[in-house]
Structure 1
């Protein structure tokens, strides 16, 4: 469990974790896939969206990203796509128990995009794809974690192709990936008509190398690439930076 969340209670193999100061509470598996800070960061800083826009999350798991967007933006419609039945069940439970009426679930494999989705129907697609190519590292013995972290049932290219199929004119794809996958992300987008518009690196501390990169692709993109100021997660004392605290709904840093 990320320290961006607060453990509220437990029920058998599940825990219920509070985020954004308790505004959202999410059930998730104790031993299976558990969301972390990266999911909350992905969901809490979005490109401009008009009221009534459709936002699709690919690989929604138990719903940390989708529910965050739905809570922050009650004026948009969120579609959460999840392939694993047990995670889709948790996702539906979390939507219901948080009383969010602007989220729907599609249970299915994003590789079957033509069967699942209406083309050019989304203003924004969000994705936190598996970080590791199949065979790059030994997967977890836990099936949920293995499938979430490794490309066992969908590659980066599958995610980006699904996003390209979904996005309307001037729509955005926002995803995060570790630096080791940078060339894979660029190559996968290169077979679509999406173009890289913005890029931002995440650093645990200011003096450390980036550990994640956030990409914003657009159809079509402006000719210039905007490289945003880095996001530093922690200050010199080891506490969350002012931006991270603000985005997590935590109290402001004094001084």
Structure 2
């Protein structure tokens, strides 16, 4: 353990869209860059678990809107997360990190099944654990899977990497006057209906006192800054005093 680090074990949630140009597909250079940012904190001795979405290939809710059965669409989305996880594993191992992919749906030829105690042991041994296939259940997002795994693995914080540097009261890509929050309580985030994370994931974090930081992973050094306790992104927790 490194004494000057604020967090020793983290759950990092990446959207699938972060892996591809214009949010679609997989860009090898982008994946290598993300792996490099992760290596910076892994080399400090931080225990890292990851959940990666599949929206760059398939979005279950969108597919269901076209007439595909929602459960079927969600299972296809789970497979998309496995593909993203294997690509990320390859990039990370080429940079010297030892990784394990664990899936909520068993597929022994490509990955281990998710077993909580085995995942914890991998983390203790310094391996990065990439948790794929969501929670293994339809109707639940990978945000909810990330919240669940963070609690199961006793992570100290859930880090949600997005395209922007925190939570805003409106889409900063469309509204230049959108206001950024440095801190938010779970209840305020839920009441505002913020789209940065779904309500099931937020409620699970709230009920289990799992703090969340939303930040921009493409900002060089942001992940390391958070690990060292520097202010970066937006913190969502139960210890925030909201203005009266």
TM bin, normalised by shorter chain, reads 0.3 to 0.5
- The answer to which structure has the higher strand fraction is 1
- The answer to which structure has the higher helix fraction is 2
Q: TM-score, structure 2 length as denominator?
A: 0.37
Q: TM-score, structure 1 length as denominator?
A: 0.36
